[in-house]
Amino acid sequence: MKFYNVPRFLPKINKSMKDKFKNFIDKVVLILKKQRLIAILSVASIIFISSCLIIKDYEKRNNTTQVSENGLEENKAGQEETDIETSTTSTQSDISSETESSSSSSSSSVTSSTSVSKKTTTSTTATNTTTTQSEEPEPEPEPEPENPSAVVAFYSDNQSDTDEEDVIHQRAVNYILNSGANPIFHAGDLMEDGTQDSLDRFNSVTVTLRSSRTFYAALGNNDREVGDPNTPSHLFLNNFVFPNNEQWYSVNYGNLHMVILDSAFSSTNPSQLSWLSSDLQSSNSQSKITGVMYHHPSFSGTVSSYLNNYGVDFVISGHLHAYSHSVSNNIHYFVLSGQPSLGYIVARIYSDNVSITVYNNYNGVVDSVEFNER
C-alpha cells in the first residue's frame, strides 16, 4: 500500500534523481512494516510466556493442597524417599569424583534436597510424639457424697411452767421441725416439779412434733412425783409409750443404735447396769454407731467402764442448762443447753462416721463436730 507521493517541488529534479528518491522511500516503508511485525510477534511471545507461567503456578498450588490433605501418607512416604535419596546421594558423590565441576554442583543440590526432606520427616515425627504425650487419660469421676442413714435431733430441760418459757420452748421445737430430723430425743426434765400443769404445757407445745415425728425421752430429776424426789412421775410414764420398761431402753434408726438410760431414779440399780452391759454387746450395738443418752452428766462416772469397753461413740446429757463438749477415750460427750437458752443438736449418721451440729436458742450454730466410729 502506497501512502506517499513525490513532492511537487521535485519537477526540476531530473528523472534519475527522482527514481533514486522513490527507491529510498520504498525501502524506508518496507523497514517500517518489518518493525511493526516484529513488535506484534514480541507482544504475542510475552502473552504466551505469561500464560505458561500462570498455568505452571496454578499446577504447583494445586499439588501443594493435595500434599497438605494427604500429609500423613506423604510423611510415611517421605521417610522412604529419604532412604532412596540418601542412597542416590551416595552414588552421585562417587560419580562426582570422576566428573567435571558441573557434576559436583548437581550432586550438592541433591544432597541439600535430601537434608530438607529429613528435617521435614523429623519435624512431623516430633509433632506426632507431642500429640501422643498430650493425650492424658480422663480422670475417674468423683464418688457421689454419701447420704446419711439417719438424721436425729436432741434437746433437753425445757421444763416450762410460765408462758415466757413456753415461747422459748416453742421456738426450739419449730427449729427442730424445720431441720427435718426424725426421731427426736429428749434428755430429761420436760416437766417442772412433776406437776400436771407443766406436762400440759409440754404437750401443747409439742403436739405437732409428737404427731409428725417419733419421740423418745429420758427421765430427768424434775420428772418426778410431786413431793417425792425418788420416784418417777406416773404422769410422765402414762403420757408416753417407750420400749422395754420405759425407763431404760434402746432403739435403732439407720446406722444408729441409741441407748436411753435413767440417771435420775435408777443410777445404782443393778438391773439397769446388767441390761446395759448386755445391750452394748448386742449385734445391733456392735455393728452400728452407738450413742447413749441420760440426764445427769455425772452419771458417766458410773457407766464409764461400759462405755469404754463396748465401743460407745458419743454420749448426750442435760441438767446443767449450758452447752459443753468434751472427749474422753475417743468418746464424745455433749451436754445440752436448757431454759432459758434452750438449744438443740442435729446428728447426721453415716456408715462409719457422725456429723453433729449444735444450735443455740436463736438457731445460730454454736459448734460443729465430726468423728469416726470407734
Q: What is the pLDDT of residue 311?
A: 95
CA–CA distances in Å: residue 280 to residues 277, 290, 291, 310: 5, 8, 10, 6
Flag whether 31 is in a domain.
yes
How much is the pLDDT for 118? 41
Are 329 and 200 within one domain?
A: yes
User: Rounded to 10 degrees, what is the CA torsion of 323, 316, 369, 326?
Assistant: 70
Residue 335: predicted pLDDT: 98
pLDDT of residue 79: 54
Nearest to 280 by CA among 297, 257, 247, 262: 257
Quick one: pLDDT at residue 294?
98
CA dist 326 → 163, 317, 331, 335, 366 (Å) = 34, 12, 8, 9, 14
> Do 252 and 346 have their domain in common?
yes
Mean pLDDT of each 10-residue bin along the chain, 374 residues long: 47 62 73 68 69 69 57 51 47 43 40 41 47 67 87 97 97 98 98 95 98 98 95 96 97 98 97 98 97 97 96 98 97 98 98 96 97 90
Is residue 62 situated within a structural domain?
Answer: yes
| Whether 44 and 165 share a structural domain | no
Bridge partners of 176, per DSSP, are: none
Determine, yes or no, domain membership for 41.
yes
Residues 186 and 302 in one domain: yes
Q: In what order do the strands lie in the sheet with 353-359?
A: 215-217, 184-186, 150-155, 344-349, 353-359, 365-372
Do residue 121 and residue 194 come from a single domain?
no
* Cell numbers that stand for 224 in this block: 418426778
Instruction: Confirm whether 321 is domain-assigned.
Output: yes
Looking at the fold, whether 350 and 218 belong to one and the same domain comes out as yes
Do 356 and 266 share a structural domain? yes
> 143 lies in a domain?
no
Question: Which of these three, 99, 131, 163, is where a domain ends?
Answer: 131
Cα 31 to Cα 111: distance, rounded to the nearest angstrom: 54
What is the pLDDT, as a whole number, of residue 236?
97
3-state secondary structure 74-87: HHHHHHHHHHHHHH
- C-alpha span between 353 and 324 (Å, rounded): 21
Q: How far is 293 from 258, CA to CA, in rounded Å? A: 8
Among 75, 103, 131, which residue terminates a domain? 131
Q: Are residues 180 and 305 in the same domain?
A: yes
Cβ of 189: how many Cβ atoms within 10 Å?
26
Coil vs helix vs strand at 13: coil
**Are residues 195 and 326 both part of a single domain?**
yes
CATH number at residue 160: 3.60.21.10
Which one of 82, 100, 131 terminates a domain? 131
Does 140 map to a domain?
Answer: no
Q: How many domains does the chain have?
A: 2
Considering the domain architecture, whether residues 206 and 329 belong to the same structural domain is answered as yes
Q: Which three cell numbers stand for residue 334?
A: 455433749
Which domain does 25 fall in, by range?
15-131
The vertex-302 CA angle with 300 and 307, nearest 5°, equals: 60
Burial class (CB in 10 A: 0-12, 13-18, 19+), 341: middle
* Residues forming a β-bridge with 233: none
> Has residue 142 been placed in a domain?
no
Give the number of C-alpha atoms closer than 13 A to the C-alpha of residue 136, restricted to the C-beta side: 4
Q: Are 166 and 89 part of one and the same domain?
A: no
Query: Rounded to whole angstroms, what are the CA distances from 76 to 63, 73, 120, 124?
Result: 18, 5, 11, 10
183 and 38, same structural domain?
no
Domain membership flag for residue 4: no
